Amino acid sequence: MTVARETLRSWFYRPWFLAMLAAALSATLLIVGSLFVAMHQVEQNESQEMNAQGERFLARLEQLFGQLRESLDDLEAQPLRGCDTELIATLQQVSFNYRFVYEAAYVDDSRLCTNRPRQEGLSLLRPPDIKGPTYSYWLNTTTEPDENRAALMLGRGNFRVATSRGHLTDMVDLTPGSSLLVVLDHGTRAIPVLGAAQSWPPAESWAPKSREALQVTQNRLIYHMPTNNPEYQLVLITPRTVMHVPAVWWWLLPASLVLGVIVGFLVFLLVRQRQSLDAELHGAIRRGELQVLYQPIFDLDSRNCVGAEALLRWRRPDGTLTSPDLFIPMAENTGQIRQMTDFVLQRLLEQLGQLLRANPQLYISVNLAACDVMVPRIGQVMARLLTLHRVAAQQIAFEVTERGLIDVVVARENLQALRDVGHQVLIDDFGTGYCSLAYLQTLPVDCLKIDKAFIDALGHDAASSGVAPHIIHMAQALQLKVIAEGIEHEAQAAFLCSEGVKFGQGWLFAHALSSVQFIELITRGRRKTSRRMSDEA
């Protein structure tokens, strides 16, 4: 299992593999996304066309039914009731007056006469498909291909009028496979008026009680036309057209592939850069490129230096400095941070061991990463180094960030172990993490360091200007010391003094110093103090 995990991990550290993976994933996502947009656009266009066709069809049907009803009303109003020449002439005149009346007929128990006596007339006389209070409807009265045969017939009393199949097909251009249905018997039976017979109800998943006029199923479009008669519904069914991908998608396809290649190339460069930086960082200690600087910490009242924060810096052979914000997270991710922490501890005791022994009140604080806090290793390393350099434990403090306290219980135990042997514990950049008052009370802490961002906000109308005073009062309530970071102006120092803050660090007092400069700062201050005491004597 371990071998497989290591093999998989090694693959994910290969730039070309990650580049190909990123290119494939990004290109796939872009292609799928563009295809989805194209298909959605096709479906929208298809639905809009169907809605427009259905509305046109409904308007023409209303016109056709209106003419058929008017013609029946005219025939019913005249007094003739026999198959004589005068009635036949009237039937012919009605078919002439009304465009959509192809055949008009008179029917009684024994006779049938039409305006077309020399042609085969109405193909059948059967009970109406829909019988209303005034009009009766016969649907699909013929299935023959002759366009002059009746396809729709209305009746009132003894009169019948029919429209031809040609009239209907002239009104609506049905696509192949489409049908106009009249749905009867509360939606359980459908009769085709135009087009082929369709299975009803549809076997596909659809919502028969939906109020939407158009329903889109997997294979068909079903358009319900509103009618005033509750006895029937007009339904237009058409098969869905073959998906024609818009032309724009064929531009999106190569564009997606090109973007995928670009993303892969950028990932390749990034991984190579990170791996190059990782490899350089791995040898930086061996090549002597890492150095420790010391940011002095001052008593705000006496302006005497009481200690310093050890800062790790990486100076390349060309003289450029690599930001700690770049290489520290990388060292944490690759596990090199432990080696770097050990380097800082060893180097500061080598450089400042004699100074610390000569100044027992002086202390140096060291930043610990999350992985250092979660294991008791630091205490063991520190004990060995303190014995070697004969430095007291209280002269080495450890700074941890709120974000580094991943497991509070484990962190509390390890920090308490450090305090038990004499080390101070400081919370660095306080206010930028998630520590609450109740949370803070459970941690073995000696001091809070207020982040520079809150010090910069002092004296301004920024929303964070009140954070620093709040942290100060909270620390005082918990009887904790406070160190203000990033003090750059005298007004900031004066305000912090008035709030009861004892210690601070920042460019107002000194920049980060080398070990030689820091030793000079301490010894110079000690000489000045001795001189003042001699003068007073």
State the sign of the Cα–Cα–Cα–Cα dihedral 412, 414, 420, 423: negative
Write the CA distances from 456 to 109, 460, 521, integer angstroms. Answer: 106, 8, 26
CATH number of the domain at 490, please. 3.20.20.450
Q: Would you say residue 103 has pLDDT above 90?
A: no
Mean of the per-residue pLDDT values of the chain: 78
Q: What average pLDDT does range 106-111 have in this prediction?
A: 80
Q: Which two tokens stand for residue 390?
A: 């004969």
Asked if residue 394 belongs to a domain, the reply is yes
Give the residue numbers spanning the domain of 123.
39-193+211-239
Residues near 313 by Cβ (< 8 Å), separated by ≥ 6? 290, 291, 292, 293, 321, 324, 512
DSSP of 14-32: -HHHHHHHHHHHHHHHHHH
State residue 533's pLDDT score. Answer: 33
Q: Which range among 219-233, 263-277, 312-326, 377-391 shows the weakest confidence by mean pLDDT?
A: 263-277
Kindly state whether residue 3 falls inside one of the protein's structural domains.
Answer: no
Q: What mean pLDDT is predicted for residues 87-116?
A: 85
Question: Is residue 308 domain-shared with residue 423, that is, in the same domain?
Answer: yes
397 and 424 Cβ atoms separated by less than 8 Å: yes
Residue 303: predicted pLDDT: 92
Tracing tokens 């005082």 back to the chain, one arrives at: 476
What SS3 string covers 465-521? Answer: HHHHHHHHHHHHHCCCEEEECCCCCHHHHHHHHHCCCCEECCCCCCCCECHHHHHHH
Mean pLDDT for 456-466 is 70
Q: Within a 13 Å sphere around the CA of 290, how many CA atoms are in the beta-carbon half?
A: 26
Largest CA distance in the chain: 153
Q: Give the residue-averaged pLDDT of 262-282.
A: 65
* Portion of the chain with pLDDT greater than 70, in percent: 74
Does residue 133 fall inside a structural domain? yes
Q: pLDDT tens digits, residue range 6-35? A: 455 445 446 666 667 777 777 777 777 777
Show which of 224, 239, 254 is a domain's final residue.
239
Between 119 and 292, the more confident residue is 292
> For residue 286, how many other CB atoms are within 10 A of its CB?
8
What confidence tens digit (pLDDT) does each residue in 319-362 have? 777 778 777 887 787 778 888 899 999 999 999 999 999 999 99
Q: Is the pTM of this model over 0.75?
A: no
Facing residues of 525 across strands?
Answer: none
Query: Model confidence over 311-326: pLDDT tens digits?
Result: 998 887 767 777 787 7
Which has more confidence, 43 or 528? Answer: 43
Burial of 412 (0-12, 13-18, 19+ CB in 10 A): middle
Q: What is the dihedral of CA 48, 49, 53, 54, to 10 degrees?
A: -40
End-to-end CA distance of the chain: 76
> Is the dihedral angle over the CA atoms 432, 435, 440, 442 positive or is it negative?
negative
Q: What is the DSSP letter of 509?
A: T
- ∠ CA 198-200-201 to the nearest 5 degrees? 145
Which range has the worst mean pLDDT, 37-41, 310-314, 367-371?
A: 37-41
Residues 486 and 355 in one domain: yes
Q: Phi first, then psi: give them for residue 21, nearest 5 degrees.
A: -65, -45
Q: What pLDDT does 309 receive?
A: 95
Nearest Cα to Cα of residue 142 among 132, 131, 153: 153
* Same domain, yes or no: 47 and 183: yes
Residue 513 and residue 413 in one domain:
yes
The total number of structural domains in the chain stands at 2
Do 330 and 235 fall within a single domain? no
Query: What is the torsional sign of CA 276, 280, 282, 283?
Result: positive
pLDDT value, residue 535 = 38
Q: Are residues 175 and 316 in the same domain?
A: no
Q: Are residues 383 and 486 in the same domain?
A: yes
State whether 311 and 225 are in the same domain: no
Q: Identify the residue whose tokens are 């960082």.
A: 281
Domain-located, residue 493: yes
Query: Which residue in 247, 81, 220, 102 sits closest to 157, CA to CA?
Result: 81
**To the nearest whole percent, how much of the chain has pLDDT over 90?**
24
Given this model, what pLDDT does residue 182 score? 77
Q: Does 187 share its domain with 317?
A: no
pLDDT at 530: 43
Of the candidate ranges 105-114, 367-376, 443-452, 479-488, the one whose mean pLDDT is the lowest: 105-114
Residues 184 and 302 in one domain: no
pLDDT at 209: 64
**CA pair distance 117, 113, nearest whole angstrom:** 7
Q: What is the mean pLDDT of residues 138-142?
A: 67
Of residues 285 and 473, more confidence is placed in 473
In a domain, 427, yes or no: yes
- Looking at residues 137-164, what average pLDDT do you find? 70
In a domain, 511, yes or no: yes
Mean pLDDT of 470-489: 89
Averaged pLDDT, 472-492: 90
Give the up-direction half-sphere exposure of residue 470: CA atoms within 13 A in the CB hemisphere: 12
Are residues 400 and 523 both part of a single domain?
yes
The whole-number pLDDT of residue 118 equals 59
Q: Tokens 């007094």 appear where?
A: 79
Query: What pLDDT was estimated at residue 366?
Result: 95
Q: Would 56 be classed as within a structural domain? A: yes
Residue 348 and residue 423 in one domain: yes
What's the chain's length in residues?
537
pLDDT band at 143 (very low <50, low <70, confident <90, very high): very low
Q: DSSP per residue over 287-331, as a string?
A: HT-EEEEEEEEEETTT--EEEEEEEEEEE-TTSPEEPHHHHHHHH
Q: Is residue 62 part of a domain?
A: yes
